[in-house]
Amino acid sequence: MVRRRQAVTIKHVAADAGVSLQTVSRVINQEPNVRASMRERVQASIDKLGYVPSIAAQRMSGSRSYLILALNDRERTIADWRAREGTDWVDQMLMGGMLECAKHGYRLIFELVDTHSDHVERELQGCIAALQPDGVILTPPHSDNPLITDLLRRQNIPFAQIGSTGEAGGISLIMGDEGAARTATRHLIDLGHQRIGFIKGAAEYKLSDWREAGWKAEMADAGLGFDGLCAAGDFSYRSGVDAAQKLLALRPRPTAIIASSDHMALATVDVARKMGMQVPRDLSVVSFDNTPMTMLTRPALTAIDQPVAATTALAVERIVAAKRGDALPEGPTIVPAGLIVRESTAPPAK
């Protein structure tokens, strides 16, 4: 008969460290009122015995659930999944959030909510009642939905607002959209481009305005005009086709275009090809997001790399700190984006 190995419990840790159960509990729950030497002593016993804290036990021992709820837009997320076009926003979000949660003994729960539904408040209330999360991570367009933010504020649940300036009282995290658009524009100007078009994202996202503002500001700083060089999109491929056709019908037409999503950038490349143009010989293209498709298409797209994983990890870190009662920085925190230069940008043809 094979004997099952006895599970290591908090009692074993307390006995090995020679401390009380309450002390072990305070160390596990990362409470501040524990001396550093005592924390190290208990942690050494935890490591030696291979003790893994149970979330259920942690929830019973205090006011925390050790769960963080991350919300994403249902309609857009499901559409991306079904299209199977390489969008990895959710992957990056889960990677950053789950890895950071693990550092703090938390678990990340991912839910899809329809921000356009009149029942969004009731739907979110059901999630909160079932999970009792210690905090909630909101992504656009949820970040500025008053039905969501008002509910979280009434229930005194810390929440992070990604892509928002945090007027609703949450933890504001911005992925440097305005600065990123300036960087993309400056890259093209440095290559010698003067007529640079811009395809804007969906109007319900604040970041769409920030990106447009960054493009305009950099153009103005360089003494370049931008009137008539902006076309509206909604992040989708179809809207990118329409916007690119509008911009490339201009005379003189732009020698470069910045698109506010990878799908719209791919659409721009396709429209240019159908018009007999080559990228980047006749048209340079810069994209936003840097999803896998930007690396796999030909030419590979120069792209703004959105720091989704880093921003989600910071959201977890700030929520855990808020739950502990730590002081948080005032105002929005900007997580800067980077520019990945690939094959789709070059000096304009002479």
pLDDT for the residue numbered 3? 43
Q: Which fold has domain 10-57?
A: 434 Repressor (Amino-terminal Domain) (1.10.260)
- Counting as low any pLDDT under 70, the low residues of the chain are 1-6, 29-30, 32, 53-63
Q: What is the pLDDT of residue 1?
A: 42
> 194: burial class by Cβ within 10 Å (0-12, 13-18, 19+)?
middle
Gyration radius of the chain's alpha carbons? 24
Label residue 160 exposed, middle or buried (CB < 10 Å: 0-12, 13-18, 19+): buried
Q: Residue 273 and residue 267: Cα distance in Å, rounded?
A: 10
Superfamily covering domain 67-175+307-336: Response regulator (3.40.50.2300)
pLDDT at res. 159: 94
Domain ranges, ordered by start, for the chain = 10-57, 67-175+307-336, 177-306
How far apart, in whole angstroms, are the C-alpha atoms of residue 324 and residue 208?
34
Strand partners, 258: 198, 286
Give me the pLDDT at residue 60, please: 46
Distance CA 134, CA 178 (A): 31
pLDDT of residue 62: 52
Res 6: pLDDT = 58
Could you give the CA distance from residue 260 to residue 286 in angstroms, rounded to a whole number? 9
CATH assignment of 177-306, given 1.10.540.10, 3.40.228.10, 3.40.190.10, 3.40.50.2300?
3.40.50.2300
Sign of CA dihedral 48, 52, 58, 64: positive
DSSP letters spanning 173-186: EE--HHHHHHHHHH
What tokens does 285 get? 């293209």
One fold for 10-57 and 67-175+307-336 = no
User: Which pLDDT does position 233 carry in this prediction?
Assistant: 96
